[in-house]
Amino acid sequence: MQVEEEEYVPCFSEVDKLQNYGINAADLTKLKSAGLCTVLGVLMTTKKDLISIKGLSEAKVEKILEAAQKHESASFMTGIELQGKRQQVFRLTTGSSALDNLLGGGIESSAITEAFGEFRSGKTQIALTLCITAQMPKTSGGGMGKVAYIDTEGTFRPERIAQIASRFNLNPEAVLENILYARAYTVEHQFQLLTLIAAKMTEEPFALLVVDSIMALFRVDYSGRGELSERQQVLGKMLSRIMKISEQYNIVVYITNQVMADPGGGVSFVPDPKKPIGGHVLAHASTTRLYLRKGRGEQRICKIFDSPCLPEGEATFQIGPGGVEEASE
């Protein structure tokens, strides 16, 4: 299935719109090369960070910010206006209705959803299934858009995508064609990929960004205890950038995370002491946190760990040839 261009109405203003407010094309190119491709993206960036973009003086930045504020009328809005804005938010089906129900209808766009759990708990399988549902029409619980996939662990498998696509009666080739995949090797690389993807999202409709996993490279690149505070600072920056991407383009962001082997320093008597890594920085950035664990056989249990609007609860699903499926019982 192709993502149909004619149905695509962008939900954001391209940064080029600032030309109407007297910002010249050369300066707009500078913004875009720094990954700021939308007017909202500019507004979400501090003056300090804008001045650090090569070739932009303080005076220019002030002019740009003023133009951006005018364009977006960035100020207070009423609750009703916010409600109208929130109506663009969609929910992406996971492939299991039990899991969708737990999530209030699916994974919410314009937010970050984090899944953590032990190895083989299904984190990647959910990501792969979402790669297909993201491309389905909105009336079938899809996102009607393309997919960006940042893989830090090398576990993305095109043949698995093809297999899951056939379950949904979609053409595997067409589905793969709509996935932009990148393997990241360092934290810096992960940052660069986010900048590149933001530019792509301005050009074409996207529905999903996957980062599998968010923490793996941070763990490698900042290994010592002495590097922990720096690690958390850089992590905070990255998550803030991801959050801004999800809000600017109204896309679903699904990130996976690992669990700490022994959070209690060996003295924990809690029956299930598994905790996600990434500390408070990640805890605050993720809108919804899901804890996955293994059940009997191919069954997996998902528990809402933290959410602004979902009640605590659990759902059982199963991993099969078609990806995330209903638990059979």
121's contact among Mg ion, ligand ATP, none, with CB below 5 to 8 A by partner kind, is ligand ATP
Q: Find out whether 251 and 89 touch, Cβ atoms under 8 Å.
A: no
321 binds, among ligand ATP, Mg ion, none (CB under 5 to 8 A by kind): ligand ATP
Measured CA to CA, the distance from residue 249 to residue 264 in angstroms comes to: 39
By CB under 5 A, is residue 124 in contact with Mg ion? Answer: yes
* Residue selected from 71, 123, 244, 275 as contacting ligand ATP according to rule CB under 6 A: 123
The DSSP letter of residue 17 is G
**Rounded Cα–Cα distance for residues 13 and 35 (Å):** 14
**Nearest alpha carbon to residue 125 among 157, 154, 152:** 157
Cβ within 8 Å of residue 5, ≥6 positions away: none
**Considering the complex, what minimum distance in angstroms separates the CB of residue 87 from ligand ATP?**
33
Residue 326 in the binding site for ligand ATP (CB under 6 A): no
In the complex with ligand ATP, the residue whose CB is nearer, 39 or 164, is 164
Nearer of residues 200 and 294 to ligand ATP, judged by Cβ: 294
Distance CA 248, CA 201 (A): 10
Q: Is 260 left (phi over 0), alpha (psi -120 to 50) or beta?
A: beta
Closest contact distance (angstroms) between CB of 297 and ligand ATP is 9
- Closest contact distance (angstroms) between CB of 240 and ligand ATP is 25
Does position 178 interact with ligand ATP (CB under 6 A)? The reply is: no
Q: Quick check: 121 binds ligand ATP (CB under 6 A)? A: yes
Nearest to 136 by CA among 97, 164, 104, 113: 164
Which window, 7-15, 44-52, 117-125, 245-253, contacts ligand ATP (CB under 6 A)? 117-125
Binding mask 151-190 for Mg ion (x = CB under 5 A): ----x-----------------------------------
Least distance between ligand ATP and beta carbon 269 (Å): 25
Residue 146 or 274 with smaller CB distance to ligand ATP: 274
Nearer CB in complex with ligand ATP: 129/250: 129
**Binding flags for ligand ATP, 21-40, as an x/- string (CB under 6 A):** --------------------
Contact status: 67 vs ligand ATP (CB under 6 A)? no
Rounded Cα gap, residues 50 and 169, in angstroms: 46
Scan residues 143-172 and list those touching ligand ATP (CB under 6 A): 153, 155
What DSSP element (H or E) covers 30? helix 25-33
Q: Which of 239, 319, 324, 327 binds ligand ATP (CB under 6 A)?
A: 319
Residue showing tokens 């299991």: 96
The upper half-sphere exposure of residue 31, i.e. CA atoms within 13 Å in the direction of its Cβ, equals: 31
Any residues with CB less than 8 A from the CB of 115 and at least 6 apart, and which? Answer: 122, 123, 126, 254, 255, 256, 257, 289, 290, 291, 292, 302
Three-state DSSP state, 295: coil
Where does this chain bind ligand ATP (CB under 6 A)? 117, 119-125, 153, 155, 298, 319-321
* Interacting residue ranges for Mg ion, rule: CB under 5 A: 123-124, 155
